[in-house]
Structure 1
Amino acid sequence: MSFLKEFKAFALKGNVMDMAVGVIIGGAFGKIVSSLVNDILMPPIGALIGNTDFSQLRINISKIRDATAHAAHTVADTFSGGGEAAAAAAPAVEPIYWNYGAFIQQCVDFTILAFCVFLMVKLMNKLMRKKEEAQAPAPAMSKEELLLTEIRDLLKEQQKK
């Protein structure tokens, strides 16, 4: 039973709940930034560089697989004496692509997300500083200021009489 109590104490701590809220809001914020990048920023950038969609940039590297497969078949045919009929009967295989454009897109997403988070943290720090300044007590008066204040008050009293 102590395990459950320990888990409950852990799960209901303020820091854990704050972190959970942060993760949830961070996920939603990430979706907003992804939409900003994909739907707002990338279309004009793509138009400027010739309608390029970074996520569609890729290189077909199937030739490497095909070359190694061909070399392996050649070696196997040499030793087994197999004909070209076995090579012709090989099933068609899917092409392999190196999707470097998707990586570029993710880097752009990350940069924009990091910049947005930076601006948000900067704004929060500015607001926190203003709040602290507003809550800061007035600095204590020095002995000289206290003495001058008393003298001023005494002079006002004498002028009233």
Structure 2
Amino acid sequence: MTVRRGGTGVKNALIILPDGQGNSRIARYFLKSVYEKKESKLSFLMNTQLYHSFTGPFPADVQTYSGEDIGRHQLPKKDLIEKVTSRKFHAVVDMHPNFNLATAYLTYLSHAPVRVGFRSRFSEHFFNIQIDRKSTDFLEKGYLSIQKLLNL
């Protein structure tokens, strides 16, 4: 798979939305903006608490996880791994602005040709495309970079 300017974009992607109340407003905005684009088949994975904070229309393909799906050492348990690896995605995007071992590991295990996440000291082990976000940048800017990269 080649990522280039003027490309058609990703047709089948898993978007892992970030945990936490502070990220829910931004995640909701991102979800709404990409959900309105019908050209791509997008699947979403999010924490159950974030899922319950949403109101209004929701994409059909949403899977959730909770703290019980994360085991020792912050690694995902087998059932959560199977939610991701049971399907083939062209791209998997981990939207956590700060490194999250469980979701980074899920992204890696997906074996998707395009694995996107934010740059951190560990990110090179999990993502083949890393979004560099300075601490002074707004998170929305990083999300816009991801949308442009994948043509969502």
> Which range, TM-score by smaller chain?
under 0.3
Instruction: Give the structure with the larger strand fraction.
Output: 2
TM-score normalised according to structure 2 size: 0.20
Instruction: Give the structure with the larger helix fraction.
Output: 1
TM-score normalised according to structure 1 size: 0.19
Larger Rg: 1
